[in-house]
Amino acid sequence: MKLLITGGCGFIGSHFIRHVPVHDSVVNVDALTYAGSLANVAGLPGEFVHADIADARTMEDLMAKHSFDAVINFAAESHVDRSIDSPRHFIHTNVLGTSVLLDCARRHGVKRFVQISTDEVYGSLGPEGRFTETSPLNPSSPYSASKAGADMLALAYHKTYGMETLVARCSNNYGSRQFPEKLIPRMILHALRNQPLPVYGDGRHVRDWIHVEDHCRALLAVLREGKAGEIYNIGGDAERENLAIVKMILARLGKPESLIRHVADRPGHDRRYAIDATKIRETLGWKPIHNLENGIAETVDWYLAHQDWWSAA
């Protein structure tokens, strides 16, 4: 297969490229904004194109040049706090950019289009239950609203034009090469510097965590075997309170819990996410293989061993 991977210099996109079989070819499009880095794909095969996915002329020329079998759209602005401060940047990339990609892919006969989404489009859960693919969308932030809009566009292109579009909604990822604005790398780096670890509110917001490599294995299954027009929830079956994650990191580093500082909660902070991944497990035979505690330990150790990577981030 010839794959157009957008956002391939970011955290999840660069890991996905590492999982692409050697007999497939990759063109990686990335705008190289603050969270994307060529260092993440150094030494990996494939062609790199420095471009914004919302640049219709460039995307049109790119798809005219290559006969892509599939587009996997990782490109996104993804940090909730930044979306609260500047929503229009999220609309530009996440909504307009997805629209441009879908339109170009349709005109150039791209067979498959996988839209990478998030469980945040579902909003907040109470203490019980899990999100299924049929849960109503109820986004709480400009970020999650922009991702919900992109999802709806992708699904509409299947219904309207018959395109083989698919949507994959995943829970919180962790692993190596994640930009330090996210919870786990941020807490690791603060602890390494003996700086206070800022935790929103009471720290008891619950997230379902999944190792990025498990996510990438799931996405390959969706790409190759998923049913067009369908949504696939991807979760690690590892719900933990944010405070528990922070304490795991401190324990691995041998740092005191007195470094934790509770700060004012952010606006619209969803209380709990939990993913029901029954559909992808039963229909595509995927399941996560990483244990959360071991995965967190390995992630902490990676940041310890790669100061050259994060000191430049």
Active-site residue list: 119-120, 143
What whole-number distance in Å separates Cα of residue 81 and Cα of residue 269? 10
What whole-number distance in Å separates Cα of residue 209 and Cα of residue 231? 19
What whole-number distance in Å separates Cα of residue 16 and Cα of residue 84? 28
CA-closest candidate to residue 172, choices 283, 270, 94: 270
Report whether 104 contacts 36 (CB < 8 A): no
CA-closest candidate to residue 94, choices 152, 36, 47: 152
Buried b (16+ CB within 10 A) or exposed e, 102-123: bbbbbebebebbbbbbbbbbbb
CA-closest candidate to residue 190, choices 138, 126, 257, 133: 257
Tokens, residue 60: 């049109």
Based on C-alpha coordinates, what's the Rg of the chain?
19
